[in-house]
Chains A and B, each alone.
Chain A
Amino acid sequence: SAVISQKPSRDICQRGTSLTIQCQVDSQVTMMFWYRQQPGQSLTLIATANQGSEATYESGFVIDKFPISRPNLTFSTLTVSNMSPEDSSIYLCSVGQTGVYQETQYFGPGTRLLVL
């Protein structure tokens, strides 16, 4: 099994600032994913982060707003840039494989972000 930790667990930020969320996995994984859960909404995939290549963003998400780093096989960061209140969400890191069914998709505990 994979154990995932995220930092910070929660934060309150001012409009116009940026926040970097860290995701650490206790084992080497090929693919890491970043999701967002806005209040009352379902989880939405932001991007897929593969080590050694550019992240792949889903429709509606762009690199300038959500830059992602993946420096090695156990770590990734997601930055929420130039924040606005609409960015208030829970951000989740996940590891696993999409497109190929498997039983072991793991999720971190999430980072709860409030933008004032």
Chain B
Amino acid sequence: GNSVTQMEGPVTLSEEAFLTINCTYTATGYPSLFWYVQYPGEGLQLLLKATKADDKGSNKGFEATYRKETTSFHLEKGSVQVSDSAVYFCALEDDKIIFGKGTRLHILP
């Protein structure tokens, strides 16, 4: 069946560091891929998405590229801020949405 695997956290970085959160997926079809973010005390929010191979989703300085050949959708940001501290979920949508376990990110000032 379809599944999503993302790197385990917590990830702790200093402000302005480069961020990568790895995400790989298994799917029988050609799913859409998402990154969701959950800030402390809030619900999940869609951060970015990509619907087909080689698409790049971007938002708030975050980027992720749909790599069909490596079945990956890694999340990157060139310079993180303290306000980026949150839990990040990679997800795919085929006939339903399947989430990874989430990666908690701590950014130190």
Chain A residues close to B by CB (< 8 Å): 4, 40-45, 58, 92, 94, 98-99, 101, 103-110
Contacts and interface: CB of A to CB of B under 8 A. Distances in A.
Contact of B100 (A42, A45, A110): A42
A42 B101 contact: yes
Contact of B49 (A92, A99, A103, A110): A103
Given A92-B44, A107-B44, A110-B43, A43 B93 contact: no
Contact of B95 (A98, A106, A108, A109): A98
A108 B97 CA distance: 16
Interface residues of B, number: 22
Nearest to A104: B46
Interface of B: 4, 32, 36, 38, 41-46, 49, 51, 89, 93, 95-102
Contact of A98 (B4, B42, B89, B93): B93
B43 A4 contact: yes
A25 B36 CA distance: 20
Nearest to A108: B43
A92 B102 CA distance: 15
Given A42-B100, A45-B97, 18 more contacts: A4-B43, A41-B101, A42-B4, A42-B89, A42-B99, A43-B89, A92-B43, A98-B96, A99-B96, A101-B51, A104-B46, A105-B46, A106-B43, A106-B45, A107-B36, A107-B38, A108-B43, A109-B42
